[in-house]
Amino acid sequence: MVLVIADDAGWIDFGFNGGTEVATPALDRLAGEGLTFGACYVTASVCSPSRAGMLTGRQQQRFGHEFNLPGTAPRAEGGLPLEETTIADRARDAGLATGLVGKWHLGLADRFHPTRRGFDEFHGLRAGSRSYFGDDRLAEGDRRYEHVTDGDSSVTPEADIEYLTDTMTDDAVDFIRRHADRPSFLVVAYTAPHGPMHARPDDLDAIDASLRGKRRTYAAMMRALDRGVGRIGDAVEATGRDTLLIFVNDNGGATNNASDNGPWRGMKGSLFEGGIRVPAFMHRPGTISSGSIDHPVTSLDLVATALGATGADRTGLDGIDLAPWITATAPPPDRALCWRRGPVAAIRDGGKKLIRIDGAGAMLFDLDADPGETTDLAARRPAEVVRLLAGLAAWEHGVIEPRWTTGDYWRRNLLKKHRMDVRGREAERALP
């Protein structure tokens, strides 16, 4: 099984989602051979809590991982709680070789290290981002966590990193080839196209001249991501093994990397669709038929399905194994989906979605009629508001308070992102 996670990519910046401006031919081919999800949701609109959910298979608010890791001292104190079982733990217990390539972002201290959280192998960075090129400025202090390491402490020389996305791809392909003769579980967590905005010159040269500035750099970074996932798909095919490949983005497109969420309102950090609805597909020729599904699913469902394919224990998971539904032996999952990030929380039940904002009441949207969330129906449908608020409150009874927060600055920014008068990409990109 291979789980590929992209970072901060925009919904419409994939051909398989109808995009035309950013070329993703390799991803489009894999998606076209597989099953795409038109309404796949992550459990958080920012990196670390979204990954905490995916890599445990549990709603991260159950264990207090509601926010990104603290950005100030002592940074090393925050991380994925040690009592949580990871999907790598489950896969290894089932006899699979386990590996993580790329971004961890679930704790800097040694006690949180991936090789102590179920992964046999790790080649990547503990931090959430870093330079895409070799950077000799990385020294002691917090920046050392941006180094690419092999295992616990073997640091890849910065001179050996020609371009980070390619380095991660090389490591992923190597893992797949080395474990071609036994079952394995590999997570490839790219940093692309998360900032900083760095692209290979040849990738920049390949981008249509109509794209300018940051958008051009973004498209070049996406070109490298697409090339990498294509190589991973080729490596999987070369093994001849029956392998499930899952692709998913960690959250909606960001404001600071020129990504585009297409028809969805909002961006990374918000609970509008643009913050939590993400590109996703499954690829397993001969087992999963090609096509597209628009029924709501979550990233937790994707990993539950992956674990089901490996025979690993799924006790306590919050996601649903989609295999019976995909193979038409069971109906689609029927449940409400809930989110919370500090002062903002949301619930989607069927086609109705409510966003509750501390101190500002609630907004109600009919996603079937208004997928772009342009019209707030709360004043016109008070009974629906009451019903959804009750559902959200019931979900909150099953979660705990955050173990840490990210401060007043990000709280204010979060509230700004949910103002109804922030409309359109330019207004969204004006926010951090």
* Residues 343 and 416: beta-carbon distance below 8 Å: no
Q: Cα separation of 162 and 176, whole Å?
A: 22
| 124: three-class secondary structure by DSSP | strand
Q: How many other C-beta atoms can be found within 10 angstroms of the C-beta atom of residue 313?
A: 14
Indicate the Cα dihedral angle 353, 357, 361, 367, nearest 10°.
Answer: -20
∠ CA 281-165-36 to the nearest 5 degrees? 5
C-alpha–C-alpha distance, residues 362 and 375, integer Å: 13
Q: Which of 40, 47, 179, 283 is catalytic?
A: 47
Does the CA dihedral 21-27-33-37 come out positive or negative? negative
Closest CA to 33 of 284, 255, 277: 284
What is the pairing mode between strands 352-357 and 344-349? antiparallel
Taking the C-alpha atoms of residue 348 and residue 346, their distance in angstroms, rounded to an integer, is 7
State the chain's maximal CA–CA distance in angstroms.
62
47 is catalytic: yes
Q: Is-cis flag, bond preceding 74, omega within 30?
A: yes
Nearest one of 347, 281, 339, 268 to 5, comparing CA atoms: 281
User: Which regions of 50-190 does DSSP assign to beta strands (E)?
Assistant: 97-103, 121-125, 149-150, 154-155, 184-189
Q: Say which of 105, 123, 179, 283 is annotated catalytic.
A: 105
Is residue 348 within 8 Å of 367, Cβ to Cβ? Answer: yes
CA 97 to chain CA centroid, Å, is 23
Catalytically annotated residues:
47, 105
